[in-house]
Structure 1
């Protein structure tokens, strides 16, 4: 470090720049302390980056699948990972279950790209906390699944690995960003999957692919070891082929993580995953959100009608139904757009730690990112550029603070409704799965976004309420007036109060039973 006189001059310059008002008489003492800290930093530079933390597990590192094994491009990597004593212990919640992991969640020793060129050569040294819990509960991880470029899209064609094709119509998107999870489930290649949801990223692909996906209460499932997109609204959650398995997986991965900055407190209580199953819905009060239904064309009308028909079936089973207006559903997209200007630049900048938790994954990830800004997806480049160009206006006008206050007000209004109703019901996505464009232009989708795929989902990321999607019907799409379009699934979304996952499972289980023959 420089000599003491130079240090004193530099401290004085910092004091003046940031109006610290450090008295001149104190500068020498400041210089002494800063010299000590400088020596400490020099020592830390020689500390090791961290070792592979594979835990008590067996790992067949595996391979990148091709051709028939990956004909929808759902897998980025196939592997076999389970605990050492899986063969002799059968008491875990996930014993005998195969599990897929989204390619934005770290599995030690297994390549992880996050769908981005920035991470093409990244091999994490540690397991994400949710991966640890899957293995502890006896699950067998069979691969990493395709996700969108840095999880920044609700479509399914921005990954560096190429588009992930819908299992019901290969010309259509499978939804994103947990696209590969949903496709692998729909093709019955795996029992369960762990995904992430920053605005719709579990629920949209689950809806488009006819499976079950839950965005849990914010903080119920730890995010440490996971690549985050918008940390204040990011959730990790379970996906499965049926409601029961989704509940079992949630029970396995939920709970406080001392290394995560976003999990709920140590008094978190998980209800038994079996407590809601087989329970009737008679007496449950449901609010059907009117803003969630659209009638822009015949396909939208079919989706809305299918969901309303399901609600009517539930009413006959004893569900108490009332249609209400929740204007926050529409406003939420504006709020989450502002968050993308204030949070995402921190992710690609130098402030990773608050979002990645206290683990060596943070350092591994930071060291592995290649030409980060150059390799950002187009949508992220728009957000990053806007954040820099509008930075002064954002700060002077307290835009972030106003956005946070608006989010809190929205959460307060939604909570007030939950004092009257047990659940909300609405279509998961009011539009059919869009066609995969011949010429891929994610920037066009980001700016114009005619389908607004997250319109019915992102409010509950902002408020933190649990929201599940389950298939309720199939509809025959009209393709440019042609009645012989694809037969596609329709997802219905159920939302409930904080930590009331058992309520959304209870209603979803009844829907699954009533619509089993659809």
Structure 2
């Protein structure tokens, strides 16, 4: 019998290396523990068991989002196919042969993953990243027969309500090429308004669906928080993340919402709720409804914006609704309450913690790419995000980020204030933005000027990202040839009433 040979095991690197005693000594000092070397060795011995758990974890296969439809990578947009500089990348991905979106062309905001297609999130920190998964909303669009024509430009790391921060350059407004299209879903709104696509997906953490649709004169809906899954998209801050539809008409907006809404099992922010057939429910009109015009929402706006939005009362009254002025004093504090999550939360989650603390699907390749590049090339971040990091780190070091918690607690009161008004009114209304689309800033604008231009328009939009109420922008009219949007806000998960009121307004204004 041949002698048995012992084959040496191949060397494999552990999933996580044990820290050296010196490393533990440094960590202990930094954390103020000041442990002795003997104590550190005892901790290190116990860590061998923890290391084993991490090794087991490394060997398991994790669930991921599916890729159901074939595609080619696509190409960089040529100048002749990019009139508003709104395409980040061009594709032609065909979905099912039939479905609710059959014949519809769609643009996907470039913070949402499309497998095999380069994703920039408007930022140099994402250069070279190609996701290996489709976001849930992308899969749902394709399953419904939609045809994805590309990734729409978004603002750098989605942190601007203007349209000048993306690495591909400013996105111009189809109404006036010297003006901003709005952000951060800048390309999505411009492509719809310019007639390049039928529909688009945008993201909204401070108004980023409603701002560009107001500036460009189209329809944009921020759904109830959690109604649409954000799985597979880049998160700014998990308590304010929303994905919503952009379209030229309320019908098309409702159609896309109908396709993308609903529980997916990957996003812990969601609840299992029935998704209505929005398209079949929005033609009922507003007869007998009560609509409240929120005085505090008008108080921050330019006079022509107030005039145009106030005039919509007549259209709703002709449609049979009662329209009244109302006051929600807490609205004045809405942006202040939204601010710590969108600054401190964004910094702690994106720059420091990378989503830690949230259940559900983690787009690990996306998070790892961002973390790696933002640490290696922080100078590539835009002034908007650099300001977030400076302020966020200052508050973390000197105030232990206590204001984040206070803001979240106050958000309970803010939510209750809107809910109280919505006990009296079916919807509440205010101007979407305080101003019309501004001129794009000059190339020599100072950092202070750029920061001011990036976020000066969020007074009415930001609060509803904090509270999660559904809020829709629709064009109310024009001043100096520029669109002015009106925002309709409804009860949580009553998106259908918001859409119904928008459809009634659309019908009356079209007469």
Shared fold by TM > 0.5?
Answer: yes
- 2:412 pairs, out of 408, 413, 417, with 408
**Is 2:448 the partner of 1:454?**
no
Contact 1:231 1:355 (C-alpha < 8 Å) held by counterparts: no
Secondary structure in 2 matching 1:419: helix
**For structure 1, which runs of at least 5 residues remain unmatched after alignment?**
477-486
Using a 3 Å threshold, how does the CA distance of structure 1 residues 49 and 256 change in structure 2: closer, same or farther? closer
1:244 and 2:256 correspond: no
Report the Cα offset of residue 354 of structure 1.
3.9
Distance 1:141 1:365 in 2: 24
Residue of structure 1 equivalent to 2:331: 329
Deviation at residue 34 of structure 1 after TM alignment = 2.3
CA contact under 8 A between 2:123 and 2:381: conserved in structure 1?
yes
TM-score scaled by structure 1?
0.87
Aligned-residue RMSD, C-alpha: 3.3
Q: TM-score, normalised by structure 2?
A: 0.88
Structure 1 position 340, deviation (Å) = 3.2
Q: What is the deviation of 1:516?
A: 1.6
Shift of the 442–179 alpha-carbon distance from structure 1 to 2, 3 Å rule, reads: farther
Which of 237, 254, 271 matches 1:230?
237
Q: Is 1:37 aligned to 2:33, yes or no?
A: no
1:70 equivalent among 82, 101, 107:
82
Bigger shift: residues 328-337 or 310-319: 328-337
- The CA distance in 1 between the partners of 2:169 and 2:22, in whole Å, is 55
Equivalences, count: 493
Question: CA deviation digits over 1:387-410, x for unaligned, max 9?
Answer: 2223244228x3222111111111
Cα–Cα, structure 1 residues 450 and 205, in superposed 2: closer, same or farther, change >3 Å? closer
In 1: Cα distance, 2:396 partner to 2:475 partner: 42
Structure 1 distance, partners of 2:365, 2:220, is 31
**Cα distance in 1, alignment partners of residues 379 and 17 from structure 2:** 39
Find the residue that maps to 1:293 and give its secondary structure: helix
Partner Cα distance (1:163, 1:255) in 2: 34
Pair 447,353 (structure 1): closer, same or farther in 2 beyond 3 Å: closer
Is the alpha carbon distance of 1:364 and 1:313 closer, same or farther for their aligned partners in structure 2, counting shifts above 3 Å?
closer
After superposing on structure 2, the runs of 4+ consecutive aligned residues of structure 1 that deviate more than 6 Å are 1-9, 18-21, 24-27, 46-51
Offset, 1:107: 0.2
State the Cα distance separating 1:17 from its structure 2 match.
5.3
Cα drift, residue 456 of structure 1: 1.3
Task: Please tell me whether the aligned partners of residues 153 and 176 of structure 1 are also in contact (alpha carbons under 8 angstroms).
Answer: yes
**Does residue 294 of structure 2 align to residue 314 of structure 1?**
no
Cα pair 2:156 2:165 within 8 Å, conserved? yes
CA distance in 1, matches of 2:460, 2:235: 21
Counterpart residue number, 1:185? 192
| Partner in structure 1 of residue 4 of structure 2 | none
Equivalent of 2:509 in 497, 509, 515: 515
2:217–2:474 CA contact under 8 A, matched in 1: yes
SS at match of 1:72: coil
Residue 6 of structure 2 is matched in structure 1 by: none
Say which SS state the counterpart of residue 233 (structure 2) adopts: coil
Q: Is the 8 A contact 1:260 1:356 kept in 2?
A: no
Shift in Å at residue 199 of structure 1?
0.8
